[in-house]
């Protein structure tokens, strides 16, 4: 089998890979939901879903720093990476060990394409199709739910010290748009550093649970800047994890809209 991954690398497979290392938490969860738990031999310390994998699989580092010796010792057939999560150096180093598949996700279509491609690579086409269809059905239902909602001006914070937000060309920004949340930082690329300042036009400030674990105390801190805005803690996994996590995301978004205080 021959195919191109999402950054255009041409990959060749004589058979379905039997020993998989995943360097992307959301893609690890997808592998599990595709029935590939037994084939997973290595994961990152951030691969927390399902939570038992961290005890049963070899941890080979994080998403930005890896232990190549541990990866090599596991003798993988394939290593799964992501353009945003993993560095170019990591991809190149892993490519010297075995085949590396790199995903590149900016929107739902990219997610569905990745899931479909995993189905082809690992001979799990039927399960992949079920996941794709579930996401599509839940998205369609959510689009119907959201169509009459008022558009809100939103800032989505991912980090503190320095403060960083989600900008354009990110999966988070795409999901904000689906929620009719107009990202006030959509003119800035990727994940810019910003200095909070009083902005009475912002309706809603979302503080993500990851990668920085925002807490209630940070709501009070940011109220000094966003005096008119509704400030909410949100589940960052629902806004940034792609793959099978999207099956749950749209029900969460409904709940969020219903519980904006």
pTM score of the predicted model: 0.94
* CA separation for the pair 249, 240 (Å, rounded): 10
Q: Which of 52, 26, 23, 24 is nearest to 37 (CA)?
A: 52
What is the tens place of the pLDDT at every residue in 81-93? 999 999 999 999 9
How far does CA 117 lie from the centroid of its chain?
A: 17
* CA separation for the pair 212, 210 (Å, rounded): 5
Boundary of a domain, candidates 104, 134, 164 = 104
Burial class (CB within 10 angstroms; exposed 0-12, middle 13-18, buried 19+) of 55: exposed
What is the tens place of the pLDDT at every residue in 56-82? 999 999 999 999 999 999 999 999 999
Q: 152 with 99, same domain?
A: no
Decide: 80 and 117 in contact? Cβ < 8 Å: no
What count of Cα atoms within 13 Å lies in the side-chain half-sphere of residue 141? 14
Tell me the residue range of the domain where 179 lies. 148-258
Q: Is residue 70 part of a domain?
A: yes
Our count of domains for the chain comes to 2
Q: List the chain pLDDT tens, one digit each, 261 residues.
A: 999 999 999 999 999 999 999 999 999 999 999 999 999 999 999 999 999 999 999 999 999 999 999 999 999 999 999 999 999 999 999 999 999 999 999 999 999 999 999 999 999 999 999 999 999 999 999 999 999 999 999 999 999 999 999 999 999 999 999 999 999 999 999 999 999 887 778 999 999 999 999 999 999 999 989 988 999 999 999 999 999 999 999 999 999 999 986
Dihedral-angle region of residue 61 (phi above 0 means left; psi in -120 to 50 means alpha; beta otherwise) = left
What is the tens place of the pLDDT at every residue in 162-185? 999 999 999 999 999 999 999 999
CATH at residue 183: 3.40.50.1980
The reply to whether omega before 162 is within 30° of 0 (cis) is yes
Boundary of a domain, candidates 87, 104, 121 = 104
């Amino acid at each position: 089998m021959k195919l191109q991954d999402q950054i255009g690398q041409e990959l060749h497979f004589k058979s379905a890979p039997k020993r998989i290392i995943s360097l992307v938490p959301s893609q690890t969860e997808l592998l599990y939901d595709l029935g590939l738990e037994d084939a997973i031999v290595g994961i990152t310390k951030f691969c927390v879903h399902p939570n038992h994998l961290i005890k049963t699989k070899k941890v080979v580092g994080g998403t930005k720093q890896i232990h190549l010796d541990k990866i090599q010792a596991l003798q993988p057939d394939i290593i799964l990476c992501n353009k945003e999560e993993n560095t170019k150096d990591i991809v190149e180093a892993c490519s010297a060990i075995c085949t590396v598949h790199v995903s590149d996700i900016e929107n739902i279509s990219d997610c569905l394409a990745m899931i479909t491609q995993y189905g082809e690579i690992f001979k799990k086409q039927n399960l992949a199709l079920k996941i794709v269809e579930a996401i599509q059905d839940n998205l369609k239902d959510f689009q119907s739910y959201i169509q009459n909602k008022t558009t809100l001006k939103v800032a989505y914070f991912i980090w503190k010290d320095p403060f960083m937000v989600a900008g354009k060309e990110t999966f988070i920004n795409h999901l904000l748009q689906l929620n009719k949340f107009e990202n006030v930082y959509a003119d800035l690329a990727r994940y810019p550093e910003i200095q909070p300042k009083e902005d009475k036009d912002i309706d809603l400030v979302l503080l993500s649970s990851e990668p920085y674990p925002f807490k209630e105390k940070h709501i009070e801190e940011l109220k000094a800047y966003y005096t008119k805005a509704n400030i909410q803690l949100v589940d960052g996994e629902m806004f940034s994890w792609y793959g099978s996590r999207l099956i749950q995301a749209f029900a969460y978004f409904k709940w969020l809209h219903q519980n904006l205080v």
